[in-house]
Every structure is written in C-alpha cells, then in structure tokens.
Structure 1
Amino acid sequence: MAISRIILDSVPAERLSDSADCVAAHSYDAWPIAVKWRQQGKQPCKPDLVAHPHSTQEVAALLRECNENGNAVTPWGLGSSVVGSPLTEAGGVVIDLSRMDRIIALDEDNLLVTVQAGKRGDLLEAELNERGYTLNHSPQSLDRSTVGGWVATRATGQLSSLYGGIEDQLIALEVVLPDGRIVQTKQTPRAAIGLDTKEVFLGSEGTFGIVTQVTTRIFPLKSYRRLETVTFDTVSDGIKAMRAMTRNGLKPFIVRFYDVDEARHAMKDPSFGQCVMFLGFEGIEAVVEAEYAAVMDLCRAHGGKAIGPAGIEGWLARRYDFSAVENILARPGGVAETIEISDFWSSIEGTYEALKTALAPLADEVLCHFSHVYAQGSSLYVILIGQAEDAAAAEARIRRIWEVAMRICLERGAATSHHHGVGLARKDFVAADQGDAMVVNQLIKSALDPNNIMNPGKLGYRPRTPAETRN
C-alpha cells in the first residue's frame, strides 16, 4: 500500500514516520531469520508507516482510522521477539507503544502496580526495588521487553517455578479494540462471574486489539536466600528429581536442569562432565531451610550430589546476557536458534531424546535444559549453534530446524511453544497444534476484528484478502 494512501489525522504529525530508517527499524526483530534477512538486505516485513502514540486515547483514535480505512495494524513494544511476533506481513501501520512507559499507580496495600504497556521490564523492576518490591517476573529479555509484550505473548520468566508466568501475575488490563473502543477489565483478587475477559487477550499477539495498560501483582523483596548446584549422572535422574519436587509441593524459585552438553556452558567449564541443576530458595529463613533440606533429600534419592552455590551464583550474575547467541548470529553464516516447548512428565524425556537426535545433523551443538517445572510436566529449551556458508544458507538451515522441531512436537503431542509465543516462526503449525480449538479462536478473531486489520495472518488466522485492503 502506498504511504500516500494512508491518512491518519488522529495523532500529531511528529509522532508519525515513514522515513527509511524508522521503517527499517520496525522491519526486523530479534528472530534469527530476521537477522539473516537484514544481513542479505531483504525487507519482507516492511510497514508503510510507524506511529508513536503517547496515550490510550491516541491508540484508540489510530485504530478507529485504520479500521475505517482498511489499514493493517501491528503493535510493537521494543522489537525483542525471537519469533517474529511484531513483524507485519501486510504492510500498513506499526503502532509503537514504547513512549507509553509510565507507572500509573502503586498499590502497596494490595501489592499491585498499574503501568502503561510500553514500560521496559528492567526499568519497572528497578523502580519497584527502590520501594522494596519486585515483579518476580524476569524473562531473559527483561532489559529489552515491555510489560505489554509479556501479556501479548503470554510470557514467563526465570522464577516461574515458584511465581508462575505472566498469566499468574496479571490482575487486570486495558485494551483497545480494533474499532477504537477502550475496554478496562475489573481489578479483583479472583472472581467467578462468567468469562475472564483478560484471558481473551493473553497471548493474542495483537490479533484481537492492543493492550495499553496492565495491572500486575508485585511482591515484597525477600531477605533470605539459599542457593545450590547439584550434579546428576543422567538426564533421566534429573527429570525424576524435578518430578518428585513438584509431586511433593516443593517450589524453589529457581529450578534449571542442564544436560551434559549445555552444563559445560552453564558452568563455564569445557571439561565439565555431568548434568547439572541450579536450585534457589527464598523467603522466611526457617521455611527456606526446611524446603532446601527436603529438596536435597529428593535429589540425593535420585543420585544428585550437592556441590555448593558457585555454579548458580555465576549464572545469576549473567542470566540476562544473550550475547553468546547474538555474536554467533552476527556472522553472516552463523546459525543460532532457541526453541522452547513443554510436555508432560510421562513423555518429556522421550521428547528430549527425539529432538536431540533429529536436530543433531542441523547444528554443531544441540544444547538442552529444563527451566520451568509444574505438577504435570516441564518446559524444554533447545539451543542450536552452527555455521553455514553464508546468510542465505543460514536462513535455510534455521527454517529447516523449525520444521523438524515442530514436526516432532506435533507427533509427540508436546506444546509447540512454552513462552516465546508464535509470531512468524510457528504460525504455520498453530492449526495442527490447536486442533478443534482453532475454530473457536477464529470465531473470536472474526467477531472482534471483522475487517481483519489486527496483525493479520498471525496465530494461524487467515491472512488478509485484497478486498479487505481499502485505499
């Protein structure tokens, strides 16, 4: 669509840009495929215009005009998605929320914070820390992602084994529908009054509307912690120990278990020859010590050996550092990808083995860890590192990695995503993953967004037709 055909009068002109630099900055995120596009000079996901609203009312006015004009709309936080969630395949308008970054209210009595959706995670965490509180939501992208982005992708963080994902922290939200209506859900600790409306927008990746404000739980900072590093001889032993913890209701705030190949990286020791588990406990000292003792008993019962806190302390100091993968991707032929899935305890070991075996021919290293545990199962995070001839060959290799990994997950009944979301990387696999539920999802999409302007084609929904694009 030619930029001259997009007419937006709802925000000041200085908040709209079609400059080559601004458009290019919103044509790529952190998805490795997008990195390879940039290296090849390809720009397949190019918006026509970028808007930088400062308020919910401006977002609403933008959506009203885009809906009336038939312009596709794609929300943007900080562009840190690793699966292509904020990239448009339909041109149109990217609505960048990064200037909507204020804390609206801090409710210390009820332990809540209300914040605009464009607030960067580490800045919010720092401001809360100054008041003695924490989010206890800490994705590796904390310093490059927004609160709205967490909700839109149903994100989780490194402390989820105790505190849960964003769906467990979310109390209420404000969202702008495609026709410009503003909806605010009610703040309550819990309610049994029909549909939980905020669930409609959790994980919707901007396909139903734009989240503009979020109310989430906060927690007092804990004064006591106990950290431990435990080795295991086999992946099977570590899985059994984690399952035993969850069956007994034990919830360390950190549970991370690495296979031998990734343990060498996690321990920063190329000679390290065992699987390793990082465990962290926090809270009231007496409770922490009791939980630590119970978990150590279970680990020992499955062959675990405590070797002290140094391993996990080192990881905590560098846990937001993503530079190892970024440095590999920066080379034109560099291949690096991260794929996170989840499965039940009864089948997660088989899924691990299937992925490890099938992906080995496609990378020099296939590294795996389990980092979010539940009563019924666990996540599995796979990191692939390799080298191809050039950026085009690297792009083709990464696409093949996705095809193989998703096929195995679908064959085994595993969830094809645990916390990164869908974006462009997984969109072609959503219908197979969701099965009959896809009918319901599409009906909701069609009802809320009949003109199909919101991030069209994402989450497995149908792409735009020429008739839906009006000039």
Structure 2
Amino acid sequence: MPVIDQLRDSLGWDVVLTDDADRDARSHDTWPVATVWAKLGRHPHRPDAVVRASSVEDVVTTLRIAAQTGTPVTAWGLGSSVTGQPLPVAGGIVLDLAGLVSEPVLDEIDRTVTVAAGVRGSDLESWLGERGLTLNHSPQSLGRSTVGGWIATRATGQFSSRYGGIEDLVVGYQVVLADGTVADLGQRPRAAMGPDLKQLFLGSEGTLGVVTRVTCKVFAHPEHRVVEAFTLPDVEAGLTAMRQISQCGLRPFLVRFYDRDEAAHAVPHEEISAPVLFLGHEGLTSVATAEHAAATAIVASLGGTSMGAAPVDAWLSRRYDFSTVENLLAEPGGYAETVEVANVWSRLAPMYAELKQTLAPLATEVLGHFSHVYDQGSSLYMILLGRADDDETALARLEEIWARAMKVVVAHDGEISHHHGGGLARQPWVRESLGTGYPVLQKLKDGLDPAGLLNPGKLGFGRR
C-alpha cells in the first residue's frame, strides 16, 4: 500500500508494523465476542498496518498522511476495551499509543499530575502512591488501561460516587485532530468563555481526535476510612437506601448493592440468601465517621442488618480480579458477558426486573448489582455466566445477550452504556439511544472529521 511506504519513509521501518502477528494482535480486544472470535481463529477486523507512536510528532505525522491518502485510523491503547472500541472495522492504520509515555509532572500546589496518554493507569497510581497521593480513579481495568483511554471512553471508577468519573477528575488534555492539528483543552479551574471544550472529546472513542497528553487531579490519601456490609430485605429496599443516601447529600466513596444472586459471589465464604449492600466513607475522621453513622441509620431504617467490615475488606483486596470471567471464556463453549447500563431511580427497578427475566434463558447465572450512585439514579451491572456445547453456540449466545439487553434498556428509556462505551457491542443502538441528540453528534463529526477516517464504525458513524 502506498500509505505504508509513506509512513515508513516518515516514521521509520521499526515504527510501522505489517507482520500478520502484529496485525492480528490488534484485531481483538477483551470484548467477550472478540475473545471467542480469537478462539475460533477469526480476525474480522484486521488493520493493514500498525504504527507504534512514541511521540506527539508520530501521531501528527500519521494523521496527516492518513488524511492525505484517505486511510482510516483507529487509536489503540492497551486493548482492554470490553465492547470492541479499538477494533479497526475499516482496516487501515491502528495507531498504537502504548509507547506514548512520559515521566509524570506533579504540581503539588494545584494538586495535578500531567502524563503522556499511553501511561498505564496502575503505573501512575503507584508513582503517586509513593508520594502519598492518589488519583481516586479506580476502574477494574486500572492495570490494563491507559490514561488516554480513560478520556476516549469516558471511563469511571469504583469510587465515583464520591469522586466522580473521569469527566470530573480530568483538568485538561491535548488532542490531535484528524488533519494533524494539535489542541490543548481545559479550564483554570472554570471559565465562562463559551462551552467547556474539555467535554467535547470525553467518550468520543477516538472518532473525533486522538488524545496525547492528560492532566488529572490528585488527592492526598484519606485520613480515615470506614466500611461496612449489610443485608437488606429486597432489591427495592436497597435501591431506596442508595437513593436516600445520595439525595440527602452524603457522599460515600463506596456504594455497591448486589442482588441476591450476585451477593453469593460478593460474599463467597458465607451463606447469603438476601441482597447485600457495601458501604464506605473516607476523609477527615470526624466527617467520615459522622457521614457513615448517618448513612447506616438510613440503611437500618429500611431493614438493613450489619455484617461488619470483613466482606468489604475482602472485596477491596480482590477488586481488580477478572479471573471468573476470563477463566470461563477460556473453556471450550464457555461464555461470560458484562452489560452495564443506567437509569433514573423511577425507572431503574422495572428495567432491572425485565433484564433479569429477559436474560435468564441465555445463561446459567444472571447476576446484577447497582453502583456509581447519583442523586437522580444509578448504574446497573448485569453479569451473565454460562456454558454452551461449543464456541460457535457461545458466540451466538453472546450476540443474543446484547440484542435482548439493549432492546430492554431502550424500552425503559435508560442509558445503554454507563462507562464501558459503545464500541461494536452497542453500535446498532447508538442512534436510537441518543434520539434527537444524535444529529448534534453527527454535525460535530462532520466538522472535525469530514472524511470519516477516525475510528469508523463506532458511535453510529460509518466511513464516507
């Protein structure tokens, strides 16, 4: 391909990879559907070349050559997406940003840290931890995802009920547009000069630009932390407790409510026959203690019974463990899927009930938990575990899970994704989900990437 020759002339042969193994490695992320494709030896979304960028100049050069030749470009971090976001459905170039790393730059007065977009989340958290600081951004994929990937996917972490998602934690970032233009976006600390452009590329999945540098807030480690687990009579009581805790102004760092089926996994060494709530507060000792007392009083008023701190402490020690899903997917015919969605409080329980009923025939276990709490609602995480006769049947089962789940969520006017993003998994439902807001997104795409070269096939966009 002429574009490959241009890339090699400009970037070097060692930067532009075309071997089958290199291209195959970027044709599967950790989406269970893609994992089964790999087991079956299929590579339906394979790039023509991989560019391993190690500088902003590499990104600019790649995008300019792509624009001149009309070649699609799909950004790639560490391939940890679970929805097919970095898969190059139109071939072309995969722009691998894992080598775009730098030493963190810490501003202790403003409490920010700046790093290149390819830095691994756990590496940055460890670096900050040595200095008594933390990001307070804790996705389960912390050790498998990049800082730039958090921006592109609008990620959130397990403690977001107190600290917010990446949209709340990012101060600013640098992005390279489709034509190679470099833009720095952010506010100091807030501005009233037009819209907040920082929000524009959050969650854009590489369809509007490529993030190359990120500045995030950092926090001191909390003075005090208190955690506790409770059983509750039913799902309605648990959701009411979460809603009342949030709406009265309490901000626990941890709020996770498991239905009875998932509670058995959340508290694996005890006999559990009721839903379970994990609750935790942190900060100044006096404040955290008072908030926890107020929150636990709400839980008790709804029939909650304390199980002590041990179940939460055990979960905190294993919260980055993916092994249940990964081990099942590794079995012949094994399949597992996680579908995270969201809704307002008034529609959340009915949506959950219909999802449980609709998905029950498709898996051995259908588990549910609620987390990431807001004054107006919460996310809902459905986890499905099953075994089929063979991998072909498992693949069909996974596809059916997505079709049924998305249909239910749209019918309940919910959000079809809370934090995993759209990718390929949700591509058929993007326009229906966004409704009359979709033309606004399309106009942004038309203005920033008129040729449709950046990550085509995502967020409802196709290649022109």
- TM-score relative to the length of structure 2: 0.98
The correspondence of residues 366-385 of structure 1 with structure 2, limited to 5 A, is 366-385=366-385
Q: 1:69-98: CA deviations, max 9, x gaps?
A: 111000000000000000011000000110
Q: Partner residue of 1:305? A: 305
Q: What's the offset of the Cα at 1:269?
A: 3.3
Q: Deviations over 1:394-439 (max 9, x none)?
A: 1110000000000000001000000000000001100000011111
Deviation readout 1:374-407 (Å, 9 max, x if unpaired)? 0000000000001112111111100000000000
1:103 Cα deviation after fit: 3.4
Partner of 2:74: 74
Partner in structure 2 of residue 170 of structure 1: 170
Structure 1 equivalent of residue 296 of structure 2:
296
Aligned residues of 2:134 and 2:218 also touching (Cα < 8 A) = yes
Q: Is the 8 A contact 1:261 1:367 kept in 2?
A: yes
Structure 2 residue identity aligned to 1:97:
L
Q: 5 Å matches for 1:180-329?
A: 180-269=180-269, 271-329=271-329
Distance 1:5 1:108, change over 3 A: closer
How many angstroms does 1:280 deviate by?
1.1
Asked whether the equivalents of residues 254 and 281 of structure 1 are also in contact (C-alpha less than 8 Å), the reply is yes
Q: Which residue of 1 aligns with 2:463?
A: 464
Q: 1:12 deviation in Å?
A: 2.2
Q: Is the 8 A contact 1:333 1:391 kept in 2?
A: yes
SS in structure 2 at match of 1:459 = coil
- CA distance in 2 between counterparts of 1:182 and 1:5 reads 23
User: Contact (CA 8 Å) 1:6, 1:71: kept in 2 or not?
Assistant: no
Shift of 1:104: 4.4
How far apart are 1:274 and its partner, in Å? 1.2
**Distance of aligned partners of 1:213 and 1:303 in 2 relative to their CA distance in 1, 3 Å threshold:** same
Q: Which residue of 2 aligns with 1:7?
A: 6
- The amino acid that maps onto 1:137 is H
Q: Secondary structure at the match of 1:435?
A: helix
Q: CA deviation at 1:200?
A: 1.2
| Structure 2: tracts of 5 or more residues without a match | none
Kept in 1: contact 2:162–2:253 (CA 8 A): yes
Percentage of pairs with the same residue: 49
Moved more, 386-395 or 117-126: 386-395
- Name the amino acid aligned to 2:254: I
The AA in structure 1 aligned to 2:354 is: A
Report what 2:440 is aligned to: 440
Distance (whole Å) between structure 1 residues aligned to residue 285 and residue 198 of structure 2: 36
Deviation at 1:19, TM superposition (A): 1.0
3-state SS in 2 of match to 1:229: strand
Q: Structure 1 residue 308: deviation in Å?
A: 0.4
1:271 Cα offset (Å): 3.0
C-alpha displacement at 1:4, in angstroms?
Answer: 7.4
CA contact (8 A) 2:232 2:276 kept: yes
1:79 aligns to what SS in structure 2? coil
Q: CA deviation at 1:222?
A: 1.1
Deviation at 1:187, TM superposition (A): 4.2
Deviation at 1:326, TM superposition (A): 0.5
Matches within 5 A, 1:358-437: 358-437=358-437
Amino acid at match of 1:153: T
Give the superposition deviation at 1:185.
1.6
Quick check: 1:3–1:48 contact (8 Å CA) kept in 2?
no
8 Å CA contact 2:153–2:205 kept in 1: the answer is: yes
Q: Equivalents in 1 of 2:428, 2:71: separation in Å?
A: 23
1:293–1:217: structure 2 CA closer, same or farther, 3 Å change rule?
A: same
Paired residue secondary structure (1:371)? strand
Offset at residue 5 of structure 1 (A): 5.9
Give the equivalent residue in structure 1 for 2:63: 63
Residue number in structure 2 paired with 1:117: 117
> Cα offset for 1:204?
0.2
C-alpha separation in 2, matches of 1:6 and 1:407: 45
Report the CA distance between 1:10 and its aligned residue: 2.8
Shift of 1:322: 0.5
CA distance in 1, matches of 2:338, 2:113: 31
Residue deviations 1:24-51, cap 9 Å, x none?
Answer: 1101000000011011111001001001
Aligned to 2:126: 126
Measured after TM superposition, the shift of residue 195 of structure 1 is 1.5
Q: Distance in 1 between matches of 2:107 and 2:55?
A: 22
Q: Secondary structure at the match of 2:372?
A: coil
* 8 A contact 2:75–2:94 mirrored in 1: yes
Count of equivalent residues = 463
Task: Give deviations 1:157-186, integer Å, cap 9, x for gaps.
Answer: 000000000000111110000100100124
1:325-344 Cα shifts (integer Å, max 9, x gaps): 00001113111000000011
Distance in structure 2 (CA, Å) of the matches to 1:408 and 1:367? 16
How far did residue 270 of structure 1 move? 6.7
1:288–1:403 CA distance, 2 compared to 1 (3 A): same
Q: CA RMSD in A?
A: 1.1
Counterpart CA distance in 1 for 2:276 and 2:129 is 31
In structure 1, distance between residues paired with 2:301 and 2:148? 43
Read off the aligned partner of 2:153 and give its amino acid letter.
Answer: T
Secondary structure of the 1:128 match is helix
Residues 151 and 202, structure 1, Cα contact 8 Å, conserved in 2: yes
Q: Distance in 1 between matches of 2:195 and 2:147?
A: 23
Please identify runs of 4+ aligned residues in structure 1 that moved more than 3 A: 2-6
| Conservation of the 8 A alpha-carbon contact between 1:367 and 1:383 | yes
Deviation at 1:256, TM superposition (A): 0.4
Residue 22 of structure 2 corresponds to residue 53 of structure 1: no
- What corresponds to 2:27 in structure 1? 27
CA distance in 2, matches of 1:19, 1:353: 48
**How far did residue 65 of structure 1 move?**
0.4
Tell me by how many angstroms 1:283 deviates.
Answer: 0.8
CA separation of 1:6 and 1:197: change in aligned 2, threshold 3 A: farther
**1:88-134, Cα deviation, whole Å (9 max, x unpaired):** 11000000110112134211100111111111000000000111110
Q: In the TM superposition, what is the alpha-carbon distance from 1:371 to its structure 2 partner?
A: 1.2
**Letter aligned with residue 225 of structure 1:** R
